[in-house]
Copies of this chain bind each other. A is one copy, B any other.
Amino acid sequence: MVQKGYGGTSISDIAQVVGMTKAGLYHHIAGKQDLLFQILQHAHDEMERLVIEPAKQVGDPERRLIEITRRHVRGILDGGLEFTLLYRERHHLDDAQQETIALRTRAYLALVGATLQELAMEGKLRDLDIQIGTIHLLKTISGIADWYPMFSEIDEDHLVEQTVNFGLSAILKR
């Protein structure tokens, strides 16, 4: 089967234009995919080490949510999670790689969601859709990687505490 890409251009055409053999081009693309996959796996490893594992040690759900928020923001600011922005590129991975990364992302969402569920059972949660609340909290945190470089005059400790306040006030009755 002739593989046709954008505008009817074949892989052979592209290989010719960029001066590579077809096998060489496949090798090049696979190499770039693997590099991105390794980087995203590393980012998740760091997330587990810096955020998830320490947070799981905290029994009280309110303190656990504070710990998750504080450690996730701190991870972004310290550069431990500097690859956060590369998540946007995950659609370039092959299917199996995408699934591996998606599973790890869902595991983190599940940890935060379960924490909000515990808070609901303790009567501490606002009238809040847990799924939406979980995602909004995590987007507030991960969004920092987007905008903080343009506002780097803001003190890091101040940003960490303000983000904890913002997120917890949105989620908890208090």
Asked if B18 and A133 make an inter-chain contact with CB atoms under 8 angstroms apart, the answer reads no
Find residues 121-174 in chain A having any chain B CB closer than 8 Å to their own CB.
126-129, 131-133, 135-136, 139-140, 143, 146-147, 151, 154, 158-159, 162-163, 165-167, 169-171
Q: Is the CB of A132 within 8 A of B163?
A: yes
**Are B147 and A135 in contact (CB-based, < 8 A)?**
yes
Interface size class, chain A? 20 to 34
Measured between C-beta atoms, what is the minimum distance from A44 to chain B in Å?
18
Residue among B18, B163, B170 making CB contact with A166, cutoff 8 Å: B170
Partner of A162, one of B19, B132, B143, B154: B132
Q: Name A's B-contacting residues (CB within 8 A).
A: 17-19, 88, 126-129, 131-133, 135-136, 139-140, 143, 146-147, 151, 154, 158-159, 162-163, 165-167, 169-171
